[in-house]
Amino acid sequence: MTTARVKWVDGFQFVGESGSGHAMVMDAPGDSGGNASGMTPMEMLLVAIGGCSGMDVASVLKKKKLDIRDIEIKISGEMAGDYPKKFTGIQLEFIITGSNLPDEPVKKAVDLSINKYCSVKATLEGSAKIGYTYRIINI
């Protein structure tokens, strides 16, 4: 079982701690009464899907023994206008940088993450439309 706890600090600031002991600060933006001292929970959700899928892609590409120098995932979320203002759409852009990277293994790694391995994506997919693109930068 995975666990976490969230503890109120002050105002709208909370500290979240994972069961493995890692912590992060959450806060509301200044225009919403917070101090903007940390990510908002919705920003954390975007970071979570990016981190989850990034780890998958890195794992698959590492097994292929490709010369990967960098993996960056840019994530954007479109939110509903009315409460609960959930994400209605999430778009991920994978940017894979390396030397002599062929298209097919990179495409396959991204597809496997999004369509099979990423548990955060699987958790969100009934709630938000999730799309993705990838590009390769050969250096």
* Residue 8, pLDDT score: 97
* Residue 67, pLDDT score: 95
Rounded to two decimals, the pTM is 0.94
Tokens in use for 32? Answer: 């919403």
* Residue 69, pLDDT score: 97
d(CA 72, CA 75) in angstroms, rounded, equals 10
CATH placement of domain 41-138: 3.30.300.20
SS (H, E, C) the chain: CCCEEEEEEECCEEEEEECCCCEEEECCCHHHCCCCCCECHHHHHHHHHHHHHHHHHHHHHHHCCCEEEEEEEEEEEEECCCCCCCEEEEEEEEEEEEECCCHHHHHHHHHHHHHHHCHHHHHHCCCCEEEEEEEEEEC
Q: Where are the domains of the chain?
A: 1-38, 41-138
* Residue 80, pLDDT score: 97
Domain 1-38 in CATH 1.10.3470? The answer is no
* Residue 9, pLDDT score: 97
- The per-residue pLDDT for range 35-44, each reduced to its tens digit, is 999 999 999 9
> Which phi-psi region, left, alpha or beta, contains residue 37 (left: φ > 0; alpha: ψ -120 to 50)?
alpha
d(CA 126, CA 58) in angstroms, rounded, equals 25
Positions in the chain short of pLDDT 50 = none
